[in-house]
Amino acid sequence: MIRLENIGKRYKDLTVLDRIDWRIEDAAFVLVTGRSGGGKTTLLSIMGGLTRPDEGKVFIDDVDIWRLSEPDLAALRNRKLGFVFQFPSLIPTLRVLDNVLLPIAFSGRTPDREDRESALSLLGMVGITGKEDAYPSQLSGGQQRRVAIARAMINRPSVILADEPTGDLDETTEAEIMGLFQRINRQGVLVVMVTHALDYSSFGTPYLLKNQQVLPYEGESSPKGAKSGAS
């Protein structure tokens, strides 16, 4: 469960998020949409412990993450959160399998055989088989995104935060990737996805970030004015 209390964020004089209260239940699939530069990525980053809010609190499983020490917050990101970004986020100097195992390495232990099997299984799940020794540059954009999803899943997180993961993909690949997120969500993982596409509402509950507020989305022209929502 993720809970935001009174979250605010400003960049110099520009208020991006203004006293947002939001609660997302476990195993939910939440889509956040809104105009470019509206603060969607900032919201996701605050939820994921990547950027500190100017005010307010973020609770993940009742832990106030911004009160944690830096190492504890890093450990929380490592264990409980998985990120998928809108850009190619694989490390170009590492092979596919090593990319997937990277979060395990950052957890302070050396990946063992079981971890490798788990990584191969995840790669199989996302449809990347036989390419574990390839470097990212040898993969297509869609394949790279799939590997990034496998990497986000390697530590069995309870939350996946995806920032426009299909932004630069063709329609077929986009549908496949969305299908993958749906499968992940059905395994009980909470998914928060920032997206421009408004036709994903069949995958999860859509929200609109507008006027520095998160609003339940009910169609292109009629967002509700309410400030809070539930999955």
Partner 1 sequence: MRQLLYLVRQNLRRRPFRAWLMIGGIVLACATLFPAAILSKGIQDTLQTSRERMGADIVAVPAQSREEALAALISGEPTTFYMPSSLEAQVRQIPGVKRTCAQVYLRSLDAACCVVQVTLIGYDPERDFTIAPWVLQKTGERQRNNQIIVGAKVISAVVGTPAKAIGQRLIFMGKPFTVASILEPTGLGADYTVFLTMETAYRLVRESPLYPVPIRQDQVSTILVQVEEGTDPAAVAEDIERNVPEVKALTSGRLTRFFSLRLQGLADALLLAGGIFGFLAAGLVGSLFALSVRQRMRELGLFRAMGAGRGVVFRLIILEAACIAGIGGAIGVLIGACATYFSKDLITGMIGNVYVWPGNRDFLAIVLLIMAASLITGILGGLYPALRISRLEPYEAIRRGE
Q: Which residues bind partner 1 (CB under 8 A)?
A: 42, 45, 48-52, 70-71, 74-75, 77-79, 83, 85, 87, 89, 91-94, 98, 102-103, 105-107, 110, 135, 151, 155
Q: Please identify, using beta-carbon distances, which residue of 34 and 82 lies nearer to partner 1.
A: 82
Amino acid at 152: A
Question: Closest separation between CB of residue 117 and partner 1, Å?
Answer: 19
Question: Closest separation between CB of residue 57 and partner 1, Å?
Answer: 17
Q: Alpha-carbon distance 99 to 58, whole Å?
A: 29
Q: Please identify, using beta-carbon distances, which residue of 74 and 197 lies nearer to partner 1.
A: 74
CB 84 within 8 A of CB 152: yes
Q: Please identify, using beta-carbon distances, which residue of 77 and 146 lies nearer to partner 1.
A: 77
Question: Closest separation between CB of residue 75 and partner 1, Å?
Answer: 7
Place of tokens 């209390």: 5
Q: Please identify, using beta-carbon distances, which residue of 1 and 50 lies nearer to partner 1.
A: 50
DSSP state of 221: T
Q: Please identify, using beta-carbon distances, which residue of 190 and 215 lies nearer to partner 1.
A: 190
φ and ψ at residue 228, rounded to 5 degrees = -120, 165
Question: Closest separation between CB of residue 79 and partner 1, Å?
Answer: 7
In the chain, where does DSSP find H-type helix? 40-47, 70-80, 96-106, 113-125, 141-153, 171-186
Question: Closest separation between CB of residue 219 and partner 1, Å?
Answer: 31
Q: Please identify, using beta-carbon distances, which residue of 146 and 151 lies nearer to partner 1.
A: 151
Question: Closest separation between CB of residue 92 and partner 1, Å?
Answer: 7
CB-side exposure of 88: number of CA atoms within 13 Å?
A: 15
Question: Closest separation between CB of residue 224 and partner 1, Å?
Answer: 29
CB 203 within 8 A of CB 178: yes
The order of strands in the sheet holding 29-33 is 81-84, 159-163, 190-194, 29-33, 205-210, 213-216
Q: Please identify, using beta-carbon distances, which residue of 53 and 142 lies nearer to partner 1.
A: 53
Q: Which residues contact 147 (CB under 8 A, 6 or more apart)?
A: 90, 96, 99, 100, 123, 126, 128, 136, 139
